[in-house]
């Protein structure tokens, strides 16, 4: 074992606890920019944090997804991902030259490819390595691995474009051993899925020390802190990066990067009032709410140098608000990478302390690009980087939680945000400014394009289509989380989210753990909510089915009372009604029927407004198919609205949520509803094309 491995092992055990598995990596790698390869030597020390003796190891070889058209990734994706197409004859793969126990047995010949998800014998993205003797409970094993990685032309988050390199999922990475009862595991075993078109990643936390050698003219950025840069005398430079308590390592290199740095100064960025407001909202002391300083590193394409301030401002906003809401960002650095034109397949991606954004020279001043991308990718530092959700099995616990959180940051930090929509490369944001449009509006519109395609809770590769994966991993859970906030209230939601995040930092939760955190934090049983909006595809739709408003006429007939029997004739009743009309004392009977058109059940408010300015509120549990409400007042009804604040973001049709009396306002109300409806349809179509 290397001296570094021993020291870093002790450090990470102390930080993360001896009862958790650890994967600590020391890697020495050399980039050959001509051959587009990396030659590496990896020392992995893996700790068995379970009580199980473990007879074998399993590894991800993600780069083999791009080895040929028979891989599971290529079969599922058809060579396309996020609008990017794989460049033919630019194959990528990873070859393990040697895998041995440090100071012990050579296991290279024992390696075997397995396909635990689909049985595809041609897939090479997972290997199993039988051991000569099991790793005992609480024990550890150190492996030495020699490998060569061939980069593809940049695609699906990794690769090269000209002299630009993005090293993502570029080294052999061990899977996660899940003991029985952990997450959904009924029996102990490896959680090591194949690389699918609709999935990302899952790995144990540990410490990384990486020495990366590149031609000296290259500018380099990577996960963690750059400890040094040593010129080797042969035209190359070796950069050393170190980072503890992360579950991955990525890097980039390009000669033409413009490198900018700035410090996120917590004292300057967070005002005393903001600190006080957050402390009150969450019920925590100032000391617990305070943030830490962070070095922001920005690697921009030369033609985008003028956008440095926008990138820094977006990064600072993300560090600030994610930190205030969920807990201070714990790492010393965050690196933001701007891929070149033609390298967009590497854009919009997250790795620990390292994110890729994406922008262009042709954009509007407030169109959410690059701000929305930067904030969103930084958000993954929390919902995938610090809370290690399994993106294979519950992608929406990362992407959806992050979509919700990103929207809150954008709407707070960038009021007046406009649509990040382009046609033939031209930003339409300045042509489509809509008052009140929010990030969540786009989420809702996209969700409505296929609300019943799948239950939200499914493994990433099991959704019906790639579009359904996107909607159910990003937009629908984003809308679901906003609906949950509207149901609980801002303060209760904020406390529950922080409690969940703090409890599961550097660990691997499943969705029942989030439900437990919400129920415990709020003291409420919210299972009814999650059963409907996570574990089913039932659609919510509440409507004003009918409203009538009629004058109240004097009753006719024979009436018995204390004064004896009294008969009211039709002529007498008509005279009484005419007198009331003359003296403006006429009463009006309003009847309204509210219907549950969808299958999902949700308690809704109904607001009744009257011509004299009076307002009545009623709450309906929403369980039966319909409910009727009646009012007798000396005024006519002007409008009826179900869920007037639109708390139920998942309501499939807001155009049927309200009714207005025919007046000069009616036409405007109908026009507004129609415009909003068509905006939602346009956004939904764009989401499917994205």
CA distance 325 to 413: 14
Q: How far apart are CA 659 and CA 648, in angstroms?
A: 18
- Residue 647 pLDDT: 94
Model confidence pLDDT, tens digit, residues 563-616: 888 877 888 878 876 777 777 778 889 999 999 999 999 999 999 999 999 999
pLDDT digit string, tens, across residues 534-567 = 999 999 999 999 999 988 776 777 788 888 888 7
pLDDT value at residue 19 = 58
Q: Shortest CA distance to 246 belongs to which of 83, 405, 144, 387?
A: 387
pLDDT of residue 310: 95
Question: pLDDT-derived band of residue 684, with 50, 70 and 90 as boundaries?
Answer: very low
CB of 376 within 8 A of CB of 368? no
Query: What is the number of residues in the chain?
Result: 690
Residue 298: phi and psi, rounded to 5, are -125, 125
pLDDT of residue 448: 85
Percent of the chain with pLDDT over 90: 77
Note the pLDDT tens digit of each residue in 238-256. Answer: 999 999 999 999 999 999 9
Note whether 1-252 and 542-552+587-663 share their fold: yes
142 vs 4, residue with greater confidence:
142
**CATH of region 1-252:** 2.60.40.1730
Residue 95 has pLDDT above 50, yes or no: yes
SS (H, E, C) 448-510: CCCCCCCCCCCCHHHCCCHHHHHHHHHHHHHHHHHHHHHHHCHHHHHHHHHHHHHHCCCECCC
Please check the confidence at residue 436 and state whether its pLDDT lies above 60. no
Q: What is the mean pLDDT of the chain?
A: 89
- 432 pLDDT above the threshold of 60: no
- How many contiguous H segments (helices) and E segments (strands) does the chain have? 16, 35
Strand partners, 241: 210, 226
Q: Check residue 419 and give its pLDDT.
A: 41
The domain spans of the chain are: 1-252, 542-552+587-663
Give the pLDDT confidence score for residue 42 in this predicted structure. 98
Alpha helices per DSSP H over 589-648: none
SS3 282: helix
pLDDT number for residue 3: 36
In percent, how much of the chain has pLDDT > 70? 88
Residue 434 vs residues 363, 429, 684: alpha-carbon distances, Å: 18, 10, 16
The pairing of strands 564-568 and 615-620 is unpaired
Say yes or no to pLDDT of 86 above 60: yes
Query: pLDDT, tens digit, for every residue of 53-84?
Result: 999 999 999 999 999 999 999 999 999 887 78
What pLDDT is stored for residue 521 in this prediction?
A: 97
Report, as an integer, the average pLDDT of 156-166.
96
- The pLDDT-based confidence of 88 (bands split at 50, 70, 90) is confident
SS (H, E, C) 167-226: ECCCCCEECEEECCCCCCCCCCEEECCCCCCCCCCCCCCEEEEEEEEEECCCEEEECCEE
Give me the helices (H) in 17-165, please.
72-77
What pLDDT, in 10s, does the model give residues 356-365? 998 865 554 4
The better pLDDT of the pair 682, 293 is held by 293
Q: Please say if the pLDDT value at position 687 is more than 90.
A: no
Quick one: how far is CA 166 from the chain centroid? 22
Residue 442 phi/psi, 5° resolution?
-70, -40
Give start and end residues of each alpha helix (H) in 391-438: 395-413
* pLDDT for 631 beyond 70: yes
pLDDT digits (tens, 9 = 90+) for 2-47: 433 334 433 443 344 445 779 999 999 999 999 999 999 999 999 9
- Model pLDDT for residues 301-335, shown as the tens digit of each residue: 999 999 999 999 999 999 999 999 999 999 999 99
Under 8 Å CB-to-CB from 582, ≥6 apart: which residues? none
What CA–CA distances, in Å, run from 649 to 255, 482, 623, 680?
47, 7, 18, 13
* 510-520 pLDDT per residue, tens: 999 999 999 99
State the CATH class of domain 542-552+587-663: mainly beta
Residue 134 has pLDDT above 60, yes or no: yes
- The pLDDT of residue 438 is 63
Q: Quote the pLDDT of residue 180.
A: 94
């Amino acid at each position: 074992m290397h001296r570094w491995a021993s020291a870093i092992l002790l450090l990470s055990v102390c930080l993360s606890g001896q009862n958790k598995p650890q994967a600590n990596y020391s890697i020495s790698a050399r980039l050959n920019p001509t051959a587009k390869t990396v030659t590496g030597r990896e020392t992995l020390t893996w700790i068995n944090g379970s009580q199980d003796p473990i007879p074998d190891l399993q590894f991800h070889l993600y780069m083999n997804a791009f080895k040929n058209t028979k891989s599971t990734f290529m079969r599922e994706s058809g060579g396309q991902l996020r609008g990017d197409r794989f460049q033919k004859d630019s194959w990528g793969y990873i070859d393990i030259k040697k895998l041995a126990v440090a100071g012990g047995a050579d296991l290279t010949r024992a390696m075997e490819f397995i396909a635990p998800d689909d049985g595809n014998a041609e897939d090479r993205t997972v290997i199993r390595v039988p051991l000569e003797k099991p790793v005992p409970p609480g024990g550890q094993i150190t492996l030495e691995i020699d490998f060569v990685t061939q980069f593809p032309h940049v695609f699906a988050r990794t690769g090269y474009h000209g002299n630009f390199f993005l090293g993502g999922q570029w080294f052999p990475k061990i899977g996660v051993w899940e003991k029985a009862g952990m997450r959904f595991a009924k029996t102990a075993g490896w959680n090591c899925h194949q690389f699918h078109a609709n999935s990302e990643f899952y790995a144990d936390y540990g410490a990384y020390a990486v020495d990366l050698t590149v031609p000296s003219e290259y500018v380099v950025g990577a996960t963690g802190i750059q400890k040094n840069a040593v010129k080797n005398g042969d035209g190359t430079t070796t950069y050393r990066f170190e980072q503890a308590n992360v579950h991955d390592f990525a890097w980039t290199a390009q000669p033409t990067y413009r490198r900018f740095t700035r410090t996120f100064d917590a004292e300057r960025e967070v005002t005393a009032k903001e600190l006080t407001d957050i402390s009150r909202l969450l019920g925590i002391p100032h000391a617990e709410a305070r943030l830490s300083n962070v070095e922001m590193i920005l690697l921009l394409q030369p033609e985008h140098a003028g956008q440095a301030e926008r990138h820094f401002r977006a990064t600072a906003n993300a560090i600030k608000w994610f930190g205030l809401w969920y807990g201070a960002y714990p790492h010393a650095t965050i690196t933001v990478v701007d891929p070149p034109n033609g390298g967009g397949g590497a854009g919009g991606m997250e790795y620990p302390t390292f994110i890729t954004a994406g922008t262009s020279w042709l954009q509007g001043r407030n169109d959410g690009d690059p701000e929305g991308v930067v904030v969103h990718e930084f958000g993954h530092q929390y919902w995938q980087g610090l809370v290690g959700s399994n993106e294979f099995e519950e992608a929406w616990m990362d992407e959806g939680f992050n979509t919700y959180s990103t929207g809150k940051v954008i709407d707070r930090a960038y009021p007046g945000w406009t649509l990040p929509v382009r046609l033939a490369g031209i930003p339409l944001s300045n042509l489509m400014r809509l008052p009140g449009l929010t990030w969540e509006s786009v989420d809702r519109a996209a969700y409505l394009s296929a609300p019943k395609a799948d239950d939200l809770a499914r493994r990433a590769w099991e959704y019906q289509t790639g579009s359904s994966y996107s909607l159910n991993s990003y937009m629908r859970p984003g809308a679901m989380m906003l609906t949950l906030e509207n149901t609980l209230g801002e303060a209760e939601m904020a406390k529950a989210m922080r409690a969940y995040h703090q409890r599961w930092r550097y660990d691997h939760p499943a969705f029942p753990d989030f439900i437990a955190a919400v129920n415990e934090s709020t003291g409420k049983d919210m299972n009814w909510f999650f059963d409907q909006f996570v574990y089913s595809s039932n659609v919510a739709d509440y409507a004003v089915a009918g409203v009538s408003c009629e004058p109240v006429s004097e009753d006719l007939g024979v009436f018995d009372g204390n004064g004896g029997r009294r008969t009211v004739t039709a002529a007498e009743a008509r005279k009484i009604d005419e007198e009331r009309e003359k003296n403006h004392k006429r009463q009006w009977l309003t009847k309204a029927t509210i219907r549950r058109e969808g299958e999902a059940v949700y308690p809704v408010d109904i607001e009744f407004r009257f011509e004299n300015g009076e307002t009545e509120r009623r709450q309906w549990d929403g369980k039966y198919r319909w409910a009727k409400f009646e009012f007798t007042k000396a005024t006519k009804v002007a409008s009826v609205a179900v869920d007037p604040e639109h708390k139920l973001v998942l309501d499939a049709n807001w155009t049927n949520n309200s009714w207005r009396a025919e007046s000069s306002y009616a036409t405007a109300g109908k026009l507004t509803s129609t415009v909003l409806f068509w905006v939602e349809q346009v956004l939904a179509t764009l989401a499917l094309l994205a």
